[in-house]
Structure 1
Amino acid sequence: MPTDPSANKPSAPATPDLPGRAAYTQFADRYSQMAPEKPHNALYERPATAELLGDVAGLSVLDAGCGPGIVSAELAHAGATVKAFDVTPAMVELARERCADLPVDVAQGDLGQPLAWLADGQFDRIVCSLALDYVEHLSPTFAEFHRVARPGAQLVFSMAHPMRDWIDTRTRGNRPYFETTRFGLHWGGFGEPKPYVEAYRRPLADIVNALLETGWQIDRMLEPKPVAQMKAVAPALYNELALAPAFLCVRARRV
């Protein structure tokens, strides 16, 4: 469930809940309709994630935190067999609708909990697109990914860039860079009413060390640049993202 840096001013917290589920229930339909072409997603994060994933034809892929099934559908069209899950019931239904005629099995599940319905050593690829920002502790999640991955499998994930979020005082508050901080913002770009979205900001070392401690070997890291097409459709955003990254994309291998 992707994050969106085009956020407005912070507000009072939403009803206590899992950050992702509470947020995306508010605007699941709008997100599903807009994210396929929204520049942050279609011309920035998804191309970088697809580059790291490479050819998936004939592979078994887990789409963890699948949202409305945009990536799941792309994977299936590229020849993969996909299992997908999301914590938000509305997103699960939207993903099932989008992938109804494709080799995609969608379930409800929480990235912050054991993936008990998935067998050991099941997947060639695991993709987690902009969903880990809603998980407070990454090590248990990476450990579960390691369990369900086959030897030599690859994990590809994207997150908000730790330094980008640190520069923004709305996300760091008055706490040190080295702490994990839960914050909330009203997002622009998805119509009215603006959804209030909570997530976690954490230091880069916590992301890297959580991977290494759970048996993953980092293979490649991208601080993506916007694709050239964005310059025509969203020039201000293109200039912003060409100057500094908003997201971090990582590929790791199971060892």
Structure 2
Amino acid sequence: MTDQPPFGEPIARRAYSAFADRYAALAPTKPHNGLYERPATMALLGEVRDLHVLDAGCGPGIYSEALAREGATVHGFDITPEMIDLARRRCDGLAATFRTGDLARPLAWLQDGAFDKVVCALALDYMEDLAAVFREFRRVTRPGGILVFSMSHPMADWTNEKIRGDGVYFERARYGLHWTGFGEPHPYVEAYRRPLSETLNALSDAGWTFYRLVEPQPLPEMRQVSERIFDRLSRAPEFICVRARR
């Protein structure tokens, strides 16, 4: 595939370092984020007051800020240093701490059972091996704790010809697209598509108990922002949101 990152460089860091400021500015209110994925993920996460929450792949701290303002103590990490700088600025004065960290590697700086809840929003699509990530999430979560994550809907990926290519639905595949929703120059973002069974089986194999899967509906307010996007997301989902218990 063209435009591949150098060997060993995480694909998320290469992409997001190029437009971190634009992402931080637009994602809080961008329809797909603020009026679609984030409300569904937050609803699954539930009450967080007085709880310790891990924001894994925290980006510019949008979730971390919301969780801290709801009374949680938040620890966030992300592979992209520029995102960590933005998260620290966004959450200045709140009960939230941040550091760089790679989801693809053991979270060695975090103690076993340190968190009541873990949220991982739209970051797992950049991971080749989900089972290893889910095992680490389980290790750092207390017994009875909750994991909530969101990612691309596998059928939305499959029905997109640019993503599907000449591949097979049942096989994991890496693809790349130029994103047009965050201004110019359009960032080239790579990710993995995979069948739904791979995600849910990796979750189960890591010791999590599946609780609920949500295929979000757009909030009614989205119609005023973009009737085109509202109509499309009302017909078919583009993300999945999952809740599991340790």
**TM-score, normalising length: structure 2:** 0.98
CA distance in 2, matches of 1:30, 1:12: 24
Aligned to 2:104: 112
CA contact (8 A) 1:226 1:242 kept: yes
CA distance in 2, matches of 1:102, 1:14: 38
CA distance in 1, matches of 2:145, 2:166: 40
SS of structure 1 residue aligned to 2:118: strand
Equivalences for residues 142-161 of structure 1 within 5 A? 142-161=134-153
Equivalences for residues 68-79 of structure 1 within 5 A? 68-79=60-71
Structure 2 regions of 5+ residues with no counterpart?
none
Is 1:230 the counterpart of 2:222? The answer is yes
Structure 1 regions of 5+ residues with no counterpart?
1-10
Q: Could you tell me which of 154, 161, 185 is aligned with 1:193? A: 185
Aligned to 1:8: none
TM-fit CA distance, 1:203: 0.4
Equivalences for residues 141-220 of structure 1 within 5 A? 141-220=133-212
CA contact (8 A) 1:171 1:181 kept: no
CA contact (8 A) 2:68 2:95 kept: yes
Residue-by-residue CA offset, 1:87-118 (whole Å, 9 max, x unaligned): 00100111111111100010100011100000
TM-fit CA distance, 1:12: 3.2
Residue-by-residue CA offset, 1:206-228 (whole Å, 9 max, x unaligned): 00000000110111110000000
TM-fit CA distance, 1:14: 4.3
What amino acid is the match of 2:80?
T
SS of structure 1 residue aligned to 2:241: strand
Equivalences for residues 1-255 of structure 1 within 5 A? 12-16=2-6, 17-254=9-246
CA contact (8 A) 1:14 1:22 kept: no
CA contact (8 A) 1:224 1:245 kept: yes
CA distance in 2, matches of 1:41, 1:156: 16
Cα RMSD for the two superposed structures: 0.9
CA contact (8 A) 2:174 2:192 kept: yes
**TM-score, normalising length: structure 1:** 0.94
CA distance in 1, matches of 2:164, 2:171: 9
What amino acid is the match of 1:198?
E
Residue-by-residue CA offset, 1:18-77 (whole Å, 9 max, x unaligned): 111011011000000111110110000000001101111011000000000000000000
SS of structure 2 residue aligned to 1:115: coil
CA contact (8 A) 1:225 1:245 kept: yes
CA distance in 2, matches of 1:12, 1:26: 18
CA contact (8 A) 2:5 2:11 kept: no
What amino acid is the match of 2:168?
P
CA distance in 2, matches of 1:209, 1:91: 31
What amino acid is the match of 2:236?
A
Q: Which runs of 4+ in 1 moved over 2 A?
A: 14-17
SS of structure 2 residue aligned to 1:251: strand
